[in-house]
Amino acid sequence: MDRIRAELQEAPLALGMMRLLDYPELCPAPALAAWIEARLDQGLKVFDHANIYGGGECERLFGLALQAAPALKDHVRLISKCDIVPPAEDGSSDFVKHYNTEAAYVMACVDDSLRRLQVDSIDCFLLHRPDPLMPVENTARALEDLLMAGKIKSIGVSNFLPEHWRLLADHLNAPLLCNQIELSLLANQPLFDGTMDALRRDQVQAMAWSPLGGGGLSRVPALGDALAAMSAQTGVSETGLALSWLKRIPGRPLPVLGSLRESRINDALAGGGHEMPRTDWYALLEAARGHCVA
């Protein structure tokens, strides 16, 4: 647990595998194995999955890549998640999208992810969304049983607000490792609604999904102009600046980069080496929000 926590704190990026199917050139096992090895050479070892990504196909393809190059298994750190049930997977006659955090479902999802990824353990397993119907005592017991069995090495959550994760934590003997939240220049609410402060207080590592605003930063004209001007001044790409902005936040939220393009990954890594001045940070925030701070 401590090792995984330290690796998340030290990692420059996590690589989100949700869009793997959008890169057909990476889908063959040898190509994906070579891509994974190249990322490890860059110091990137955290790969973020979920059981619903590609209907499980993203995990399956990643597992085939690990099978093609078994030495990679000792070096990658795997995150996965469950509890979102798409309509097509609803076993009832309703075909309704819903959340499921019941113990049997969570345990079955872990077994399915292990099978698809072709590994013996997942480094951090997350509940993907807060479930209003979560039977918290049973869910917590299931997660602890998975820890004891060695099927997962740590527990995390995703998209949880403070009272959501604290309720679960109150029923766990093991600490919560992380919370994946939407956080970017465009999704900056967690900086003002207390979420980031609560994460720091509770020693839960923040992970920022969609750190580039889904590729839409430049669609806010003022922000696009500010990033372009700052890029021209600093020599850091707009992608790098957006990641440097996140790095400046206390608690150092770990960006989960959704792009698998090498050029975008390289730009993001370059941003990690840029120390953004306080006034530049607030200038980008002002451009994103359309107004200065009070």
Does the active-site annotation cover 53?
Answer: yes
Residue (of 247, 204, 181, 165) closest to 1 by Cα position: 204
Would you list the DSSP string of 88-138?
GG--SSS---EE---HHHHHHHHHHHHHHHT-S-BSEEEE-S--TT--HHH
Angle, helices 238-247/221-234, rounded to nearest 10 degrees: 90
Residue (of 211, 203, 185, 208) closest to 254 by Cα position: 208
Select which of 23, 53, 99, 105 is catalytic: 53
- What type of residue is 78? L
Alpha helices in the chain (DSSP H): 2-10, 29-41, 57-68, 103-117, 136-148, 162-170, 195-201, 221-234, 238-247, 262-272, 278-289
Residues 6+ apart with CB under 8 A from 201: none
Residue (of 271, 248, 139, 257) closest to 196 by Cα position: 248
241, burial (CB in 10 Å: exposed 0-12, middle 13-18, buried 19+): buried
260 within 8 A of 26, measured Cβ to Cβ: yes
Give the CA distances from residue 64 to residues 17, 30, 73, in Å, rounded to whole numbers and listed in that order: 14, 9, 11
The owner of tokens 């097509």 is: 88
* Catalytic residue list: 53
